[in-house]
Amino acid sequence: MKVLYDHQSFSGAKYGGVARYFYDLMYNLKYEQGVDIELSLKFSNNDYLINGDIKKIAQFGFFLGYAKTNLLFSHINRLNSAVQIARQSYDVFHPTYFKDYFLPFLGKKPFVITHHDVIPEKFSNQYAGLDGFDKDQKKKILDKASKIIAVSENTKQDMLEIFNIAPEKVEVIYHSTHFATFQPNTNLKISTPKRYLLYVGNRENYKNFDVYVKAIVPILHKQDDLYLICAGNGRFTVAEQQLFSKLKVEKQILHHQIDNDDVLYQLYKNAIAFVYPSLYEGFGIPVIEAFACDCPVILSDRSCFPEVGQDAALYFNPDDKEHIAFQIEKIIENTDLRTELIKKGKVRLKDFSPSFTAQKTLEVYKSVI
C-alpha cells in the first residue's frame, strides 16, 4: 500500500502538534507497518523533518520577511502536491489540513482526513479565525472524505453535532507520543529553578492562561522559591509582562525556549506538575507527554481531558480560580499524591502507543481501498 500525504501542516510550521502527529504517524507506518509513505513537500523548515528520515527537504531563509516568504514556499509546495496527487500513483491520500485545493486532482482515489478539534466552531463568537478555515469549507471536505479520523470520542461527538456527519464515517484513533519510547540525552543539563510548575505551548484565547496566572498568584506570593515556567510559543508579550508586573509575580514567571525534544523532556521530568488550564482541546498531546516523562498532571475538567487523563490526573473547574489554586496546592504539598499520579500516568500511557495509533490508522486506510 502507498499513502500520499500533502504539504499543508509542514510548509510553514517549524514545530506544532499537527505536524508532530503526522510525522510520528508516517514514521511508524513506514518502519513498523511496512507502508510505502510519500510526503509531497519540497521546501520546509520543519524541525521534525530536518532531524528525521521521512523526507529530505530543502530549507529556506526568510528573504521576503517571515509571512511573505512562508506564503511563497507554501504556494510552491501546493503546486508540487497538486502534481503528485494528479499522477494517481498512490492508494490513499491523507491531506494534513483543510485547504481543498486537492479535490479537482483526486479523481476516484479515496482520501482520509484527521479532525483534531472543533475549537473554531465552538469559540467562533469569542475568538474569530482561529485556524483560518470556515465551517462550510471544512464540511465540504468532511462530506467528501472516505473516512474521518477523530482524535477523541469528545471530538467525534462534537463533529457529529456541528457538521451533521454520519457516525459510521468517523473512527476514533487517539494521539500517541514519541516520548513513550524516547531515549533522552542524559548529558544535557538545562538551567531551571529547583521548584516550578510547567505550562507548555500557546497561551492565547481559549487556553485560559490569564485566569490560570491569576489563580496561582497567592501561591507564588506565599512561596517565593516557586516558579511558573512557560515553555515554547515565543517570549512573553508586552500585555503578559504588564499583567505579571501588576500581579507582582514578574520575577517568578519565566519563559523557556524548546530547542529540541531533550529540553522539553527535562522540563517535564523536573517539574512539580504540568498544569493545563485550557477551556477546550481536541485531545491535548502535552497530557500524554507529561505521563511519559514522569510528570504529575493537573487538568481542566472540560472537553476531552477527563477522557484522556482518566484517574491519572487531578482536575479543576477552569472558571474557578480558587479551585485551580486548591488543586495545585494539593499536589505541591503532597509527595505521595505526586508519586501516585506518576504511576497512574505510566499505566494510562499504554493506551497511547505510537504503534497502536499507526496500526489503527492503517486499518482505516485499508477499509477505504
Q: How far apart are CA 272 and CA 198, in angstroms?
A: 8
What is the pLDDT, as a whole number, of residue 345?
Answer: 98
Set of cell numbers at residue 361: 490508522
What is the pLDDT, as a whole number, of residue 232?
Answer: 86
- H-type alpha helices, the chain: 17-31, 47-50, 66-87, 119-122, 135-144, 153-163, 209-222, 238-246, 261-270, 285-292, 305-309, 321-333, 335-349, 354-368
CB of 149 closer than 8 Å to CB of 171: yes
What is the pLDDT, as a whole number, of residue 123?
Answer: 77
DSSP string, 65-102: -HHHHHHHHHHHHHHHHHHHHHHT-SSEEE-SSS--TT
Per residue of the chain (369 residues), give pLDDT as tens. Answer: 999 999 999 998 888 889 999 999 999 999 999 999 999 999 999 999 998 989 999 999 999 998 899 999 999 999 999 999 999 999 999 999 999 999 999 999 999 999 998 888 877 666 655 555 678 889 999 999 999 999 999 999 999 999 999 999 999 999 999 898 888 888 888 999 999 999 999 898 899 999 999 999 999 999 999 999 999 888 999 999 999 999 999 999 999 999 889 999 999 999 999 999 999 999 999 999 999 999 999 999 999 999 999 999 999 999 999 999 999 999 999 999 999 999 999 999 999 988 999 999 999 999 999
Angle, helix 135-144 to helix 153-163, in steps of 10 degrees: 110
Q: How far apart are CA 339 and CA 342, in angstroms?
A: 5
Q: How far apart are CA 99 and CA 81, in angstroms?
A: 12
